[in-house]
Amino acid sequence: MVGLLSCSKASIVSTTPPTTTDTTIVAPVDPPVAPTIGFFLDNWQPKAYAAPSYTQGTLPASAPTTTVSVDASQVITKIPLTIFGQNANNWMGPMYSVPAFMTPLTALNPHVIRFPAGSGSDAFFWNCKQNMPPADAPTRLRNADGTYTTSNLYTYGETSNNWQGTVDDYYAVLKATNSVGLITVNYGYARYGTGLHPVQVAAHLAADWMRYDNGRTKYWEIGNENYGNWEWGYRIDTGANQDGQPEYLTGGLYGQHFKVFADSMRAAAAQIGKTIYIGAVEQESPTQSWQTATTQTWNSTMIPAVNNSPDFYIGHNYITPYGQKSNAATVLSSAATVPAQMMTFMQSEIQNNGGTIKPIIMSEWNMNAVDSMQQVSNVSGTFAVIVQAEAIKNKFGLSARWDLVNGWSNGNDMGLFSAGDETGIAQWTPRPSFYYMYYFQKCIGDRLVNATATGSSYVKAYASTYTSGQASVALMNTSGTAQVVQVNFKNFRMGSRFYWYSLAGGTDNGDFSRKVFVNGAGPSVVAGGPANYATLNAFSALTSGGIKVSVPAWGAVFLMIDTK
């Protein structure tokens, strides 16, 4: 059968009729753009509603454990496309020339791809050939413990290594996927450079990249997690430094340097007639007594020093307890609570230290859970959607998952695609998180609206509407037992059909299945999801008896509801 929408395997049938009364519809009103989103909504456009092919769905006969009430008139925010971003890195290879990677990445439609890496950004020379760093780049870099690293210090934008990507490879990926860039420039060079004026030289290098970019990228970050003692430039060899910088970095010093970078880059942008936005690194959560003085004082010294110069503030968060063998409930509970805590903290730090609220982004996020294959599991998919949905709900301007490809490490692998180093899995095979994020974005509308779940704390519900009138609801199950959910609408003219995709894990590896099944279709190998994900039929049922679905254990249902 061919119907009107698209979403996976769930159940339906209801004793509750539709709650919409056509004569009492309250029209939605968009709220003012939140200052924490700001210009990240500049390119917002109404999203086209696509009616999918469908198969008649099977409905649950049991009573609902949860009721979700959606008020389509209560708009939380327009949805920034920049919420669906991903992180590339410079050890992925050329990328753009690999159809097995580019086809699903294009289907995923990330909108934003960050580059060149995380911490590697502070040792990346974008315009240098392999093993030819600038003359003032030292032959050793100082570690936090005072020792020195002397080999494999830098990476290069014009690399000749076949396992790395060049700057131009990155631009080819952006073009092929119709994405925009988020570029992290090398701040560390301002600290460890051995010339007379290392800050100005590093800022000039960043401005030259902006000129070369020539307007292809609007969003620029000055450094990566520079409050951390793991970053190059945290501790320097003062004997090699010529401008009197201290041995250890502080937030205040970074703030002074940030303004030099920003001035240089903005002057270059003005020369070529381009608009750019420049972000400063903020520490994202309350500090602990064991953390370094640099970390503990970062925000209180950085924010006054930058003096409102940044266009946006940058936070990173790996959300679950660090290095713990967290169970599935902990992983998903963290996803549902930490983004809000992070947003509250970052805003309060800006205000408490004399700053003005600007857009706030989460340019790296993932989980710290280890040693049960959590990061490559079906639960990681549910986790990913909850993080993205909470980022929208809490009005982040941008979020970008870390990262597209990494390394197997016995399942402690944050890569969205396999690097080809796990037994039985081909390189570039999408992990379960890919499928969750694909269907979440496929089904979501262009405005997030109010949704309230009652009856069970296990179900997280995120509702949205299309400008054309249709609605969508993402239902996430944070428990190991299937949950039957009744969805009711207010201020919505419900059509005759609704559609859904149900995503569920397999029976392998306990709660952390490496497989995902979409409307019953799954992988033919030991991990991943269905190869035909892009053409799978949605399930569908009539709305005349109400909307009731069964959400799989640790899984999700993505609903789309037609309008009259």
Residue 7 has pLDDT above 80, yes or no: no
C-alpha neighbours within 13 Å on the C-beta side of residue 135: 2
Tell me the chain's radius of gyration from C-alpha atoms. Answer: 24
Report the distance separating Cα 249 and Cα 298, nearest Å: 9
Residue 302 has pLDDT above 70, yes or no: yes
Q: Cα angle vertex 528, ends 525, 533, to 5°? A: 105
Determine the pLDDT at residue 5. Answer: 36
Determine the pLDDT at residue 23. Answer: 61
- Domains of the chain, earliest start first: 22-79+445-563 (2.60.40.1180), 81-442 (3.20.20.80)
pLDDT tens sequence across 367-414: 999 999 999 999 999 999 999 999 999 999 999 999 999 999 999 999
pLDDT band at 117 (very low <50, low <70, confident <90, very high): confident
pLDDT tens sequence across 190-213: 999 999 999 999 999 999 999 999
Mean pLDDT, residues 273-292: 97
Burial of 69 (0-12, 13-18, 19+ CB in 10 A): middle
**Neighbouring C-beta atoms of residue 71, cutoff 10 Å:** 18
Report the distance separating Cα 191 and Cα 336, nearest Å: 38
- What is the pLDDT of the chain when averaged over all its residues? 95
pLDDT tens sequence across 488-501: 999 999 999 999 99
Strand locations in 320-432 (E)? 360-365, 398-401
- Distant-in-sequence, close-in-space partners of 244: CB < 8 Å, separation ≥ 6: none
